[in-house]
Amino acid sequence: MTTDKIDFIGDIHGHANELHALLKLLDYREIDGFYQHPERTVVFLGDFIDRGPDQREVLRTARGMCEGGSARTIMGNHEFNAIGWVTENENGHFLRSHDDVHREQHERFLEQFGENSQAHRDAIEWFWSLPILIDAPLFRAVHACWHASSISTLRSGCLDDAWRMTREGFKETHHKGTALNEAMEVVLKGPEKALPAGVSFNDKSGHERREARIKWWDPQATTFRTAALGMDGRESQLPTDPIGDDYRYSDDIPVFFGHYWLKGEPEIVAPNAVCLDYSVAQNGKLVAYRMTGDEVHTACLVHVDA
C-alpha cells in the first residue's frame, strides 16, 4: 500500500450508491472484485453502518478493498456499538443495552444483515479486526478525536500492538467512569467539557445538558460559545468562559477524522486537521480529501438527493 498518495473517506452510514460514485470520481475501478487505483489507496474513517439503505453493499465494498490491499480502515463508534450489542459482560448482560433508543439507532443494520445470522456474525468479526487509529509518518487518522493522553490510556489498557481492541479490554471500556471508558468516549465520540457551575442549555430534544461537545481541532474556538458543536443557532445560550486547551490538537502531522455531521461546503477546518463527515445520512454530502505527499486538498464531493 502506498503511504503518500491517499484518499480519505469519512462516515458512509450505508449509502452505497454515493460510495461507488465517489470512488469512481476518484478514478478507482472495480477490478477482480474490488475497487482499486493504479497509484492511490483509500483510508476509511469508520461508521460504515446504521441509518442508510444499503449497508451490506457498503461493507462488501470497503471490506473487499481492505482485503484486496487498496484500502485501510479504522473503527467508528457505530462499529464499536455493534460489537457491544452482541457482547455480554460477566453477568450475562449485553455491554450495549437493548433498550428502545439503542435498538432504534441500530435496527436498520440488524434488519439488513439479519440479527444473529451468519452475515451478522461475519460483520462483527470484521469489526473486531479494525484498529482504533492509524499513526503514520505523514498523517494520523481517528474517528472522533486525536487526544494523546486518551490514546496513551487506551494503548496501555485495551489495545494490542496493531491498535486493535482486545476482547477483555473492550469489556473494560464499558465500565462507566473508568479511565478506559472515558478515554474511549473521547477518541470515538469526541470530548465534552463541563459547563460552568449553574449553566446549562436544552438540546434539540429538549433535554437539559450541562456539558458541551467541543471543536477540539479549531484554534479559534476558545470559549464555550465559539467551541460548542450541534447547537443549531443556540450558541447564545452558552457563556463566553474559556474552555482551555487540554483537548487542543497542535501537532504538525495532519489528522483526519469524521463523526461530527458538519454541514455546508466542505473545508479544511484547520491547518493540521480535516473533518470528512458532512452528513451523508441527513441529505448531506459524502466527501473525500486527497493527500499527495504532504499536500492536502479537496478531492471531490458527491451530493445526496434530498
Helix (H, G, I), strand (E, B) or coil at 210: coil
Confidence (pLDDT) at 201: 74
CB 133 within 8 A of CB 142: yes
Give the list of residues 6+ apart from residue 167 with CB closer than 8 angstroms, or none: 128
What is the per-residue pLDDT for 46? 97
Would you state the pLDDT for residue 299? Answer: 47
Structure confidence at residue 266 (pLDDT):
87
CB 34 within 8 A of CB 70: yes
| pLDDT, tens digit (0-9, with 9 covering 90-100), for 126-158 | 999 999 999 999 999 999 999 999 999 999 999
b/e code 124-160 from CB counts within 10 Å (16+ = b): bebbeebbbbbeeeebbbbbbbbbeebbebbeebbbe
| pLDDT (tens digit per residue) in 190-230 | 999 888 788 777 765 567 878 888 999 999 999 989 998 87
pTM, entire model: 0.93
Q: Spell out the per-residue pLDDT of the chain, length 306, in tens.
A: 556 899 999 999 999 999 999 999 999 999 999 999 999 999 999 999 999 999 999 999 999 999 999 999 999 999 999 999 999 998 899 999 999 999 999 999 999 999 999 999 999 999 999 999 999 999 999 999 999 999 999 999 999 999 999 999 999 999 999 999 999 999 999 999 888 788 777 765 567 878 888 999 999 999 989 998 877 777 888 889 898 899 999 999 999 999 999 988 888 888 899 999 999 999 999 999 988 877 665 544 444 432
Cβ neighbour number for residue 220 with a 10 Å cutoff:
8
Grid coordinates of 136 = 503514520
237 DSSP assignment: G
Query: Which three three-digit cell numbers place residue 171?
Result: 469489556
Contacts 24+ apart (CB under 8 A), 246-251: 247/145, 247/147, 247/186, 247/191, 247/193, 247/214, 247/216, 248/216, 248/219, 249/146, 249/147, 249/216, 249/217, 249/273, 251/140
Identify the structural domains of the chain with CATH numbers, from first to last.
Answer: 5-146+251-303 (3.60.21.10), 192-246 (no CATH)
Biggest CA pair distance of the chain = 61
The three-point CA angle 292-186-136 to 5° equals 25
User: Angle between the 100-113 and 55-68 helix axes, to the nearest 10 degrees?
Assistant: 70
Burial tier of 292 (Cβ tally within 10 Å: 0-12, 13-18, 19+): middle
What residues contact residue 284 under an 8 Å CB cut-off, 6+ apart?
Answer: 261, 263, 278, 304
Task: Please report the pLDDT score of residue 200 as a whole number.
Answer: 78
Residue 294 carries which side chain, given as an amino acid letter?
D
Question: Going by C-beta distance under 8 Å and a sequence separation of 6 or more, which residues neighbour residue 188?
Answer: 75, 76, 77, 80, 132, 143, 144, 259
